[in-house]
Amino acid sequence: MDNKQEIQRLENIVSDIIAAADQQGASAVEAGLNSGSGLSVTARLGDVETIEHNRDQSLGVTVYFGHKKGSASSTDLSPVSVKETVHAACSIAQYASEDEYAGLPEKSMLATEFPDLDIYHPWNIKVDQAIELALECEEAARSYHPDISNSEGASVDTYQGIRVLGNSLGFIRGYSSTRHSLSCSVLGQRGESMQRDYWYSVARSADDLESAQAVGTKAAERTIKRLQAQSLSSRQCPVIYAADVAGSLLGTFISAISGGNLYRKSSFLLDALDQQIFPEFIHIFEQPYLLRGLGSAAYDNEGVQTKNRDLVSEGILRSYVLSCYSARKLGLQTTGNAGGVRNLMIDPGTDDFEALLKKMDTGLLVTEMMGQGINMVTGGYSRGAAGFWVEKGEIQYPVEEITIAGNMKEMFKNIVAVANDVDYRGNIRTGSILIEEMAIAGE
């Protein structure tokens, strides 16, 4: 069965679910269905460690009887199981309490435009080819330097799947997507000092992956640079978040402006709409129609049309991140963000990474974060970190076993620059970020 036929088959199942719920008296129904397959190969120390073929499928159905809601799910798509799942959802709804905010989106908000986002590129890689690629990646890492002492392995992963969403307002739509990755993790030892680091490449198309050689070399290079790390004495200093960890700052920002945290009043950015929360040069925006983007989609998890939009411009918060439910709780309108943001970006400046180090002059470069020490209510921030000490714009030595602390509100206001070394490997795209000052707790 080709891909289009499979999408049609799954859309028909969703259509049957909606009809079955309607027959059982549901006033509204929403159903989602996922089906996919993949291959994962890991090589370690020059041998094949694991080969996994996986197939998965799941269905979720939510029914409404007025403002009473019931949900059920299954991994069996047979007609009997589908019928039982719908019946279970309807039974649960009968016992649910009324929730005036529960329900489907407004029909006018549902997606009607479905451009080709170029996110479906099956990788017909054979198992022996995947093994060869993983071995090549690990060999590049292990042979990079004599101080590479061990390996956690290199992995090749490929996945292709179909997602279908439908509801009783007449919306039924399915699409295919792919995701492929190559990763490597190695350990290094010099004297008593032992470190590990990794690197990975991920893309919708295998053609866009970094080479096995490049991924392995980068993993080893990062590991070697960290050897003989030392701690720092406690101090206040500027901090650069390297591009691959800077996304965590934007992730926390998104959590703080997300509907769930806002209506529960558990956000340090409560009532911050139209307020200046970043410096004027900061522009943060969402681009759900980015070709081959890892977060690209024409509609959100409720079928609402996504759109390109500014979250922050001139440093001012222009919009929250809302689903239908959270929007109703707040007396606002959905922003098409059920399931989160899609391809979040922050405008990079003109500085490359080296220029950002020069701009900082003396301070801490953070390349790894540990722990989850963020208080979403107050914005209090304290996380374990590792990285490098920088003086006169040059990296001096690696550091570890330190904690960096501050308050998210102050950290956002004190962003000095965003470099142009953008990390494209995720749903959040940002360059390295320089913050004017933070507290470092060390020895």
The reply to whether 149 and 25 lie within a common domain is yes
For 181-239, how does the pLDDT look when each residue is reduced to its tens digit (9 = 90+)?
Answer: 999 999 999 999 999 999 999 999 999 999 999 999 999 999 999 999 999 999 999 99
Domain that residue 201 falls in: 3-226
Tell me if 271 is assigned to some domain.
no
Does residue 172 sit within a domain? yes
Say if CB 284 and CB 96 are below 8 A apart.
no
CB 229 within 8 A of CB 398: yes
pLDDT band at residue 125 under the 50/70/90 scheme: very high
* Cα–Cα distance list, 96 to 66, 105, 137, 139, 306 (Å): 11, 20, 53, 57, 31
Is the separation of the CB atoms in 147 and 189 below 8 Å? yes
Q: Is residue 141 very low, low, confident or very high in pLDDT (cuts 50, 70, 90)?
A: very high
Mean pLDDT of 388-395: 97
Last residue of a domain, one of 194, 226, 258: 226
Question: If you average pLDDT over residues 399-413, what whole number do you get?
Answer: 97
d(CA 94, CA 99) in angstroms, rounded, equals 13
The CA distance from 390 to 222, in Å, is 16
Mean pLDDT of 55-81: 96
Domain identity same for 410 and 362: yes
CATH number (domain holding residue 116): 3.30.2290.10
In 3D, which of 162, 174, 155 has the Cα closest to residue 56?
162
> Does 128 share its domain with 90?
yes
Residue 230: CB atoms within 10 A of its CB come to 14
Q: Is 112 left (phi over 0), alpha (psi -120 to 50) or beta?
A: alpha
Residues 154, 243, single domain; the answer is no
pLDDT at residue 20 above 70?
Answer: yes
What is the rounded CA–CA span in Å between residue 60 and residue 58?
7
Distance CA(62)–CA(26), nearest Å, equals 10
Identify the pLDDT of residue 431.
Answer: 98
What angle, 0 to 180 degrees and rounded to 10, lies between the N-to-C axes of helices 79-95 and 3-23? 40
In a domain? residue 218 = yes
Which two three-digit tokens encode residue 227? 């050897």
Give the integer Cα–Cα distance in Å for 416 and 414: 6
207, 243: one domain: no
Question: Which H helix or E strand runs over 189?
Answer: strand 172-190
146 and 7 both lie in a single domain: yes
Same domain, 240 and 222: no
On whether both 125 and 214 belong to a single domain, the answer is yes
- Pairwise CA distance, residues 44 & 131, whole Å: 10
pLDDT recorded at residue 438:
97
Mean pLDDT of 351-368: 97
| pLDDT tens per residue, range 233-262 | 999 999 999 999 999 999 999 999 999 999
Spell out the residues 6+ positions from residue 106 whose beta carbon is closer than 8 angstroms to its own.
none
Same domain, 151 and 240: no
Q: How far apart are CA 241 and CA 428, in angstroms?
A: 14
Residue 434 belongs to some domain of the structure? yes
Note whether 188 and 242 are same-domain residues: no
Which residue in this structure is represented by tokens 């070399």?
217
Q: How many domains does the chain have?
A: 2
Evaluate if residue 1 carries a pLDDT over 80: no
Is 261 part of a structural domain of the chain?
Answer: no
pLDDT tens, position by position, 260-315: 999 999 999 999 999 999 999 999 999 999 999 999 999 999 999 999 999 999 99
CA dihedral 314, 318, 323, 327 (to 10 degrees): 160
What is the DSSP pairing of strand 148-167 with strand 68-74?
Answer: unpaired
DSSP 104: P
Confidence grade of residue 443 (pLDDT, cut at 50, 70, 90):
confident
Greater model confidence, 128 or 2: 128
User: In this structure, is residue 304 part of a structural domain?
Assistant: no
Phi/psi zone of residue 102: left (φ > 0), alpha (ψ -120 to 50 degrees), beta?
beta
Q: Residue 372 above 90 pLDDT?
A: no
| Position 110 pLDDT exceeds 90 | yes
With respect to residue 78, please indicate whether it lies within any of the assigned structural domains.
yes
Examine the fold and report which residue of 226, 255, 275 is the final residue of a domain before the chain moves on.
226
Band (pLDDT 50/70/90 cuts) for residue 371 is confident
- Mean pLDDT of the residues in the chain: 96
Q: Which residues, other chains included, contact 63 with Cβ-Cβ below 8 Å and sequence gap of 6+?
A: 21, 24, 26, 28, 29, 69, 70, 71, 86, 89, 90, 93
pLDDT at position 33: 96
DSSP code, position 97 = P
Same-domain check for residues 161 and 242: no
56 and 197 inside one domain:
yes
Q: How far is CA 338 from CA 99, 104, 109, 190, in A?
A: 18, 12, 13, 48
398 within a domain of the structure (yes/no): yes
